[in-house]
Amino acid sequence: MKLEHRTENNVDIVALPNRLVMANAAEARSDLKQVIQQGSGRVVINLSQTEFMDSSGLAVVVAGLQAARKMNGDVHLAHMSDTIRALFELTRLHTVFQIFDDEADAVAAFA
Amino acid sequence: MPEPDRTRDDAPNSGRVQRASMLTQTLQVLVIDDAPDVRIYVRALLRKWGYEAVLASNGAEGLERMRQGGIRLVICDWMMDGMSGPEVCAAIRREDFGHYVYVMLLTGRTEDTDLVYGLDSGADDFVGKPFDAQVLRARLQVGVRILGLEETLAEQNRRLQEHHDELDRAYTQIQNDLAAAARIQRESLPVSDDSIAPLCAGWLFLPAAKISGDSFHFFPVSQEEVGFYHLDVSGHGIPAALLSTSLSRSLVPHTGVGTPAGDYLVPADFLTTLNHELCSPDGEVTNYATVVYGVLDKYTGEGRLASAGHPQPMLLRSDGSVESLTAGGLPVGMFEAAQYEAQRFRLYPGDRLITYSDGITDCFNADGQAFDIDHFQSLLVRHRHCTAAEMAEELRRSVTAWRGETEFEDDISVLVIERQAD
């Protein structure tokens, strides 16, 4: 798996796969970290394709946040489904991420 | 009929024939022919080409010789007294010699129907009579090549079988290890609720893959109070279970009757300490867990608990109403700076406190429907007159039926602590 990735206004926009689970979490984590470390540290994770995420998948997103914050950047999340929002709320992680309905808003929030 | 010529050619190998590498010993060729002159002529040729010739004057004798072993190549005449060449072929194919036997029929016949009959009976090749020695030599080499392929194939099969057996043994070993790990893990779960009397407890534990990332326990922390936790380590399978088991061993106080110190009485501090222990020094999440820890007074029902990203514990009141407790803070093992706060609650006689991992609410049935929190709560309410243990059993029955035949995708665990009605 290679994560879909493009750059806009010096913000890295990354899409996560349809299912982010234990089976593909290690690979997704290393891909995501690589994108972040080669970029500005300002990252938008687009979750529009992501229907399911387990606890290992959640760790991928948190690892992304930690990598970005080390570079004084941040991770903004966009297009989160209700199921994934419920997971973020259950684990209280919605309190550490900025979450946007729209990718453009998530990018613009870095300006 | 002439006496069968059983003479073996003991001086093979002219060195002029290049043997297939598989043949470490001189290849024995059985010649079945009722004409002594043909037998002797073919034997001479075979000897010249480096084969060892074994002679038989009819089919029955040839088959008998084959049963003694060592024959992989047969040159057989078609027209013979007794069994014909095709009949000998068919007889060879009916028997299991433990390896392939390559059969060439010597024949003056060239009609297509005869060839079909010969092939159907199991012959591999034909050499016309009277034959050209060079044609026989070349055809023999074809036979040797095919036997070589057969041997290579047999060797590959043997190696595959070895690998397969090795994998089989490794798999069995892993299964045994998993079963042992599952036993160790179950030992770290409660066995009875005697230690927290007069409170009662019931629980449900259904691991996804024999061993589980979930664990829970309860134990006295003072004369009046009991401590309890419910833990769900991220991921599942062996790594999650290892961490879960080692955590649960460190979480259960081993001081016996004595009073465990400090953190056990202060749920928020308990989680803060656990969080520091699990956060990796390089600041990147490796292992994390969601956990609830609380203490409860056995006699007054007053309690306080703190939660780290765990599904909200529920209070099932004796009147059938359900209250969800605090959502709490972040999971432990993610952020060094995470903070936790305790929430106070009170169990009145007949009330229950229910903690669980998200495995039960995320348990999908064959139609892709989740068991979900409403369903879970409605079951709790329906079975509120049962004891805590009976309630856990009802939940086990429901969720197992919900899931059907397939294994659980995530660990399922529920802990019910009950303050008995007066």
The residue ranges of every structural domain in chain A are 4-108
Farthest CA pair distance, chain A: 36
Closest residue to B330, CB basis, from A59, A63, A93:
A93
Instruction: Please give the average per-residue pLDDT across B363-389, as a whole number.
Output: 90
CB contact under 8 A, B330 and A70: no
- Dihedral sign from CA coordinates of B187, B353, B214, B341: negative
Which carries the bigger pLDDT value, residue B227 or residue B207? B227
* Closest CA in chain B for residue A26: B286
pLDDT at residue B175 above 90? no
Q: Do A70 and B283 touch (CB under 8 A)?
A: yes
d(CA B415, CA B404) in angstroms, rounded, equals 22
Q: Identify the CATH number of the domain in which residue B381 sits.
A: 3.60.40.10
User: In DSSP terms, which residues pair with B413 in a beta bridge?
Assistant: B205
**pLDDT given at position B25:** 64
Mean pLDDT of B204-218: 84
> B172 and B100, same structural domain?
yes
Residue B248: pLDDT band with limits 50, 70, 90? confident
Selected for mutation to probe chain A from B243, B278, B285, B332 (highest A CB count within 10 Å) is: B285
Count of domains forming chain B: 2
pLDDT at B109: 65
Instruction: Write out the two tokens for B379.
Output: 């079951």
Given B167, B186, B205, which residue is the final one in a domain? B186
Smallest Cβ–Cβ distance between B283 and the set A66, A89, A90 belongs to A66
- Confidence band of B81 (pLDDT split at 50, 70, 90): confident
Chain B within 8 Å of A96 (Cβ-Cβ)?
A: yes
Nearest CA in chain B to A57: B235
Domain identity same for B77 and B6 = yes
Phi, psi of B350 (to 5 degrees): 90, -5
Contacts of B237 in chain A (CB under 8 A): 22
The per-residue pLDDT of chain B, averaged, comes to 86
Give chain B positions within 8 Å (CB) of A97: none
Do both B4 and B146 map to the same domain? yes
Is the pLDDT score of B8 beyond 70? no
The residue segments making up the domain with residue B321 are 188-418
On whether both B211 and B319 belong to a single domain, the answer is yes
Residues within 8 A of B (CB atoms), A 1-20 only: none
Same domain? B315 vs B341: yes
| pLDDT above 50 (res B57) | yes
Opening angle at CA B187, ends B373 and B185, nearest 5: 65
Assign residue A92 a region: left if phi > 0, alpha if psi is -120 to 50, beta otherwise? left
From the list B283, B288, B311, the residue facing A59 with the nearest CB is B288
Same domain, B167 and B225: no
**Closest of A18, A46, A48 to residue A32, by C-alpha:** A46
CB within 8 Å: A55 and B284? no
Compute the Cα dihedral for B17, B18, B20, B21 and give only its sign: positive
Report the C-alpha gap between B287 and B264 in whole angstroms: 22
Nearest CA in chain A to B234: A55
What is the structure's pLDDT at B108? 78
Nearest-by-Cβ selection for A66 from B235, B285, B328: B285
Q: Side by side, which strands form the sheet with B28-32?
A: B52-56, B28-32, B71-77, B102-107, B125-128
Residue B156 in tokens: 């590959």
Residue B261: the pLDDT is 57
Q: Is the peptide bond before B198 cis (omega within 30 degrees of 0)?
A: yes
Q: How far apart are CA B2 and CA A104, in angstroms?
A: 101
Please state the CATH superfamily assignment of the domain spanning residues A4-108 in this structure: STAS domain (3.30.750.24)
A91 contacts on B by Cβ (under 8 Å)? 290, 309, 330-331
**Token digits of residue A17:** 């796969």
Residues B275 and B304 both lie in one domain:
yes
**Which pLDDT does position B254 carry in this prediction?**
65
pLDDT band at B262 (very low <50, low <70, confident <90, very high): low
Rounded to a whole number, what is the largest CA-CA distance in chain B? 113
Residues B310 and B376 in one domain: yes
Q: Which of A70-79, A100-109, B166-175, B246-255 has the lowest mean pLDDT?
A: B246-255
Closest CA relative to residue B249, chosen from B177, B331, B187, B179: B187
Residue B236 and residue A22: Cβ atoms within 8 Å? Answer: yes
Per-residue model confidence (pLDDT) at position B110: 63
B283 and B308, same domain (yes or no): yes
As for the ipTM of the complex, it is: 0.90
**Chain A environment of B330 (Cβ under 8 Å):** 91-93, 95-96
